[in-house]
Amino acid sequence: MPLTDADFAAIWLTLKLATLTTALLLVAGTPLAWWLARTAARWKGAVSAVVALPLVLPPTVLGFYLLVAMGPAGPLGRLTQAAGLGTLPFTFAGLVLASCLYSLPFVVQPLQNAFTAIPERLLEAAATLRASPLDTFFHVVVPLARPGFLTAAVLGFAHTVGEFGVVLMIGGNIPEKTRVVSVQIYDHVEALEYAQAHWLAGGMLLFSFVVLLALYTLNPAMRRQT
């Protein structure tokens, strides 16, 4: 196979980034999605809109503002510098943060839909049986919302693997730190190394198809929709 060490390093880095991002988003996205599914607060609409922003914003907008905000003069950059962490662009941590923002709706929205579909009376029944809210969540909500969790995890992971514009703008193309597969493919294409670009791009295509195929065939909720 004509893949180089640099290509494998990019693949490994991408998988690491996507795994970490998905894990963080599942942890942070679950309470957010639960709140969005259950609340009657007036600013629910505003929060939903912010969550959905990465769906419609071009990655260049997100990338540009992240570069400025995380830079030495930006609000986030001042915060991280004050905490002794330096600035985040060109670091793996910076990519994780950017990916979490970028893939947020892909995790929160399936979870929110799954939570919304759970009838209120089931939760009330659990409460009358003296289940604590946490008990109810882990023993009633989570099993019922399992397809939602699966969809959220798969979409969050796949979308992060497919991230390009944001990484290009804040990554700085550093081997083993910020050079992910999509950037590596771009480099190959720009350098007119089409053979190597094909191997990686073809692999990406196959990977994405298999992931989505698995999602649509294995997940009962998705099967009903199609």
Amino acid at 210: V
**Smallest gap, in angstroms, from Cβ of residue 54 to other proteins?**
21
Binding pattern for the stretch 17-56 against other proteins, x by CB under 8 A and - elsewhere: ----------------------------------------
Looking at the Cβ atoms of 60 and 132, the one nearer to other proteins is 60
Q: How big is the site for other proteins, counted in residues (CB under 8 A)?
A: 21
Per the listing, tokens 């893939």 go with: 103
13 binds other proteins (CB under 8 A): no
Q: Which of 48, 87, 113, 116 binds other proteins (CB under 8 A)?
A: 87
Nearer to other proteins, 90 or 207 (CB): 90
Q: Where are the beta strands (DSSP E) in the chain?
A: none
Q: According to CB under 8 A, which one of 28, 86, 113, 146 is a site residue for other proteins?
A: 86
Cα end-to-end distance, the chain, whole Å: 37
Q: Left if phi > 0, otherwise alpha if psi is -120 to 50, otherwise beta: which for 86?
A: left
Q: How far is the CB of 92 from other proteins (least distance, A)?
A: 13
Residue 119, Cβ neighbours under 10 Å: how many? 9
Separation between Cα atoms, residue 75 and residue 26, nearest integer Å:
26
Q: 163-182: which residues touch other proteins (CB under 8 A)?
A: 168-169, 172-174
Q: Which C-beta is closer to other proteins: that of 10 or that of 70? A: 70
Distance CA 79, CA 82 (A): 5
**Separation between Cα atoms, residue 50 and residue 25, nearest integer Å:** 15
Options 11, 37, 51, 70; binder of other proteins; rule CB under 8 A = 70
Query: Smallest distance from the beta carbon of 10 to other proteins, in angstroms?
Result: 13
What phi and psi values does residue 117 have, to the nearest 5 degrees?
A: -75, -10
The CA radius of gyration of the chain, in Å to the nearest whole number, is 20
Contacts with other proteins by CB under 8 A lie at: 67-68, 70-73, 86-87, 89-90, 168-169, 172-174, 186-187, 189-192
